[in-house]
A and B are shown apart, each in its own frame.
Chain A
Amino acid sequence: MEADKFEDPTDFELTHHVVPGDPDRDHIAEMAEAYIVEFKRMRWPDEEILAMFRNPNYAAPHFVYQERGEEYIADLLHRVSYSQS
């Protein structure tokens, strides 16, 4: 097949460097925690938040789900809660 004259295949290659995070922080865990705090604040039930993490259409939460697993998310959901004496 003739090569596509209009699409440069290198367009979609990764050409960047990783911008390092802070070595003493777990940025991905902090991100997952922030999402849970925000969605709990909007009064989403735990099951729905977990479903969002499971859903591949929500790339950031799903990324954590893939990287760390369901148990990790479930544990975070358990730990992040409203302060009720």
Chain B
Amino acid sequence: MPKVFNWQLGREMEYPYEGKRPERQFAAVFNINRCIACQTCTMACKSTWTYSKGQEAMWWNNVETKPYGGYPQHWDVKALELLGEQPGWDASRASEQTPYGEDRGETLFEAAKTRANGSGQQALGYLPTEKEWRSPNFYEDTAFSKLTSKDGITETGTQLPEHKAWFFYLARICNHCTYPACLAACPRGAIYKRPEDGIVLIDQSQCRGYRKCVEQCPYKKPMFNAETRISEKCIACYPRVEGTDPLTEGDPMATRCIAACVGKIRLQGWIDDPQSPVYHLVKVAKVALPLYPQFGTEPNVYYIPPRWAPRGYLRQMFGPGVDHAIERYSKPDHELLGVLQLFGSTQRLVYSYKVEKDEVIGYGKKNQLVVRVPIEDPVIVRPEKHLNVT
């Protein structure tokens, strides 16, 4: 198998195809600290792309409650179990290009070589049952009291009996991975990664519905359409990214889920462009981290981890960068504060930015001004003895 370089692992790894990076790589940062599980993103995606027959149980964007929730159920626990216990990263080998150090474990591609048991899998995986796809919001808002009005609002609200110690919401879309397991898995070569923006697509005319992508994507983001009998997945709203939406007259726009987010937790950009605010968050401030980087696909949706969740749990989910990310995020410097204000500030894609004393300015593809947002001073928590009691 050819060797490719995975910066998240800080090493070369085996992948069925030669490494070829796109001109620019689509990327996004999701700030978990702000997500309130309103599911507006989920509905924005559904009402745009998956409202047809055969797509009823298909949610390209979903928001699940950790540690229990998952769509499909238990997807991450199952992938982690397949991979088995791993030694983790050697932090002493961290460098500018390899911020988390060097991974000493095995990726799902490498594990498949020895453990796929003649199944032909390129990445170790499993096919979820229909039942596991059925309840996308399982273990979240488990209603417990009688409905008091026709619109489903309860008098006492919903309860989270599932996990009272701690929980957080994980919003998920396809990661448009640099080394997609779905692409590696497809025996028909129907999945491709666009050279111009790194968006991963399934060619609907080539797909025959073998579901190998569903089986081998560890994030379970390709989905099978029982009506058309072919597979589908998130397309990163590519017509918007291309700038073909009439609203902005040719200016690239953020995806529907990103633009619609009520909590303003999402920001879209380019992971390999030092001018992009996303680059700053991931590579400079290092507050945003990949989801399960140990799988080896080099996912391109990055998360600012929730400050309140136990560190051990967060480390197995986002890798060794968690402690630094939380420290840095809790005490943001002026530039970071500025970049954080760009989240949800415009539907247009911000290509570059400038942080001034009182405001942050975002620029579009043609270097034109697309947004100006004031920067506030950091928020502090007063100790009880210094409360202003009026």
Q: Is the interface of B mostly helix, strand, loop or mixed?
A: loop
Do A18 and B153 contact each other (CB < 8 Å), given the known contacts A42-B264, A58-B37, A79-B382?
no
User: B167 on the interface (CB 8 Å rule)?
Assistant: yes
Q: Is the CB of A57 within 8 A of B165?
A: no
User: A5 on the interface (CB 8 Å rule)?
Assistant: no
Residue of A nearest to B386 (CB): A79
User: B377 on the interface (CB 8 Å rule)?
Assistant: yes
User: A38 on the interface (CB 8 Å rule)?
Assistant: yes
Interface residues of A in 31-84 (CB under 8 A from B): 31, 33-35, 37-43, 52, 56-63, 66-67, 75, 78-84
User: B128 on the interface (CB 8 Å rule)?
Assistant: no
Q: Is the CB of A63 within 8 A of B160?
A: yes
User: B247 on the interface (CB 8 Å rule)?
Assistant: no
Chain B residues lying within 8 Å of A58, measured Cβ to Cβ, are 36-38
Do A59 and B160 contact each other (CB < 8 Å), given the known contacts A21-B166, A30-B308, A52-B36?
yes
Contact pick for A27, options B33, B159, B309, B341, CB 8 Å: B309
Q: Is the CB of B167 within 8 A of A60?
A: yes
Contact pick for B158, options A11, A27, A56, CB 8 Å: A56
Do A30 and B376 contact each other (CB < 8 Å), given the known contacts A16-B162, A59-B140, A79-B382?
no
Do A21 and B376 contact each other (CB < 8 Å), given the known contacts A30-B307, A60-B37, A79-B381?
no
Q: Is the CB of B377 within 8 A of A84?
A: yes
Chain A residues lying within 8 Å of B37, measured Cβ to Cβ, are 58-60
Do A41 and B165 contact each other (CB < 8 Å), given the known contacts A56-B156, A56-B158, A59-B140?
no
Contact-residue size bin, chain B (C-beta under 8 Å from the other chain): 35 or more
Q: Is the CB of A60 within 8 A of B158?
A: no
Min distance, Cβ B362 to any Cβ of chain A, angstroms: 16
CA distance A37 to B227 in the complex (A): 46
Q: Is the CB of B38 within 8 A of A57?
A: yes
Q: Is the CB of A61 within 8 A of B36?
A: yes
Min distance, Cβ A55 to any Cβ of chain B, angstroms: 8
Chain A residues lying within 8 Å of B388, measured Cβ to Cβ, are 78
Contact pick for B165, options A14, A18, A37, A83, CB 8 Å: A18
Interface centre among A18, A25, A57, A83 (most CB of B within 10 A): A57
Q: Is the CB of A41 within 8 A of B169?
A: no
Contact pick for B308, options A18, A31, A52, A78, CB 8 Å: A31
Q: Is the CB of B161 within 8 A of A19?
A: no
User: B168 on the interface (CB 8 Å rule)?
Assistant: yes
User: A22 on the interface (CB 8 Å rule)?
Assistant: yes
Interface centre among A27, A35, A41, A61 (most CB of B within 10 A): A41
Min distance, Cβ A80 to any Cβ of chain B, angstroms: 5
Q: Is the CB of A11 within 8 A of B131?
A: yes
Residue of A nearest to B345 (CB): A42
Interface centre among A37, A61, A66 (most CB of B within 10 A): A37
Q: Is the CB of A82 within 8 A of B307?
A: no
Do A82 and B167 contact each other (CB < 8 Å), given the known contacts A31-B306, A59-B140, A66-B156?
no
Q: Is the CB of A19 within 8 A of B33?
A: no
Do A40 and B379 contact each other (CB < 8 Å), given the known contacts A31-B166, A56-B154?
yes
Q: Mark B215-249, 1 if CB is under 8 A from A, else 0.
A: 00000000000000000000000000000000000
CA distance A30 to B68 in the complex (A): 20
Min distance, Cβ B138 to any Cβ of chain A, angstroms: 8
Chain B residues lying within 8 Å of A83, measured Cβ to Cβ, are 377-380
Contacts A/B (CB < 8 Å), 10 sampled: A18-B163, A21-B310, A22-B310, A27-B310, A41-B341, A56-B157, A63-B160, A79-B384, A80-B380, A81-B380
* Residues of B participating in the A interface, judged by any CB pair closer than 8 Å: 31, 33-34, 36-38, 67-68, 131, 135, 139-142, 153-154, 156-169, 263-264, 306-311, 313, 340-341, 376-384, 387-388
The 8 tightest CB contacts between A and B, nearest first, are A56-B157, A30-B308, A27-B166, A31-B308, A83-B380, A21-B165, A38-B34, A37-B379
